[in-house]
Amino acid sequence: MQIELLPGTTNVVRFPVERRSRPSVELMRALVPDVREVLLIADAYGLEAPPEDLRDRTDAETAEHILNHMVHDGPERTAWLLSLEMQVVGKAIAACHAARDAMAESAAAESKVRAAGSVNAFWTETLRERARVLGDTAARGMLAAYASAEEAERAARAIGFAHRRETWMRRDHEAETDALLMIGQRLSACGAK
């Protein structure tokens, strides 16, 4: 485990409570890498970014899975849905932890390379190669963690519909965007008066 100090301090150690917390969608949202960072890393390492329709595909696939496999009544239904959600969210949280660990290890290796500076010894090339490999592994881990969290986010949406016994509906992004724009127009019109 790497020691992490609280931001702005030099002697207060931050305890990683997210390592001990019960898996939840909220915890996963706190751990997921930022999409801008993920896209920059994918571009920098020449990796393929997660597909744009990943959320919608996962949403539909999860709804289909629930429809085909769900127990229809009783406490077994609730237990099955909770188990399904914890399985998906737990996988995403584990991927986020692995990505954070890989990034920390990569940063430590880069720090050692910078400390070695321009020394031309036999071991500096080994340090550089190790930093390169760890950086590539960390980049791939970040992309995997982001994709896993996106899948878990949409799976949780479909599971939420099943919990509430509502009919699952595909998201209409255009209608949602239009509704948000309409709200913005109304707010700006109210502010202008």
Identify whether the C-beta of residue 91 lies closer than 8 Å to the C-beta of residue 155.
no
For residues 2 and 52, what is the distance between their CA atoms, to the nearest angstrom? Answer: 34
| Mean pLDDT along residues 119-134 | 85
Torsions phi, psi for 13 (to 5 deg)? -85, 135
Task: Give pLDDT, residue 23.
Answer: 87
pLDDT band at 3 (very low <50, low <70, confident <90, very high): low
Tokens 């909770």, located at residue: 82
Q: Which of the pair, 171 or 62, is modelled with greater confidence?
A: 62
CA–CA distance from 131 to each of 33, 116, 183 (Å)?
A: 21, 12, 49
Highest mean pLDDT among 6-15, 76-85, 97-106: 97-106
For residues 58 and 85, what is the distance between their CA atoms, to the nearest angstrom? Answer: 13
Task: Give pLDDT, residue 92.
Answer: 95
Task: Give pLDDT, residue 55.
Answer: 79
CA atoms within 13 A on the CB side of 192: 6
Name which of 65-69, 77-81, 140-144, 181-185 the model is least confident about.
Answer: 65-69
pLDDT in tens, 23-76: 899 999 999 999 999 999 999 999 998 888 887 888 888 888 888 887 777 788
The answer to whether residue 120 scores a pLDDT higher than 90 is: no
For residues 90 and 38, what is the distance between their CA atoms, to the nearest angstrom? Answer: 20
> What are the tokens at 83?
């188990």
Task: Give pLDDT, residue 6.
Answer: 66
- DSSP letters for 8-56: T-SS-EEP-GGGTSPP-HHHHHHHSPPHHHHHHHHHHHTPPPPPTTHHH
| Mean pLDDT along residues 101-116 | 90
**pTM for this model (two decimals):** 0.76
The answer to whether residue 1 scores a pLDDT higher than 60 is: no
Task: Give pLDDT, residue 17.
Answer: 74
pLDDT in tens, 157-168: 888 888 888 877
CA–CA distance from 73 to each of 84, 148, 150, 162 (Å)?
A: 16, 30, 29, 11
Task: Give pLDDT, residue 116.
Answer: 82
Highest mean pLDDT among 6-15, 116-125, 134-143: 134-143
Identify whether the C-beta of residue 33 lies closer than 8 Å to the C-beta of residue 145.
yes
User: In the chain, at which residue ranges do the beta strands (DSSP E only) sit?
Assistant: 4-5, 13-14
Q: What is the mean pLDDT of the chain?
A: 86
Task: Give pLDDT, residue 68.
Answer: 83
Task: Give pLDDT, residue 145.
Answer: 96
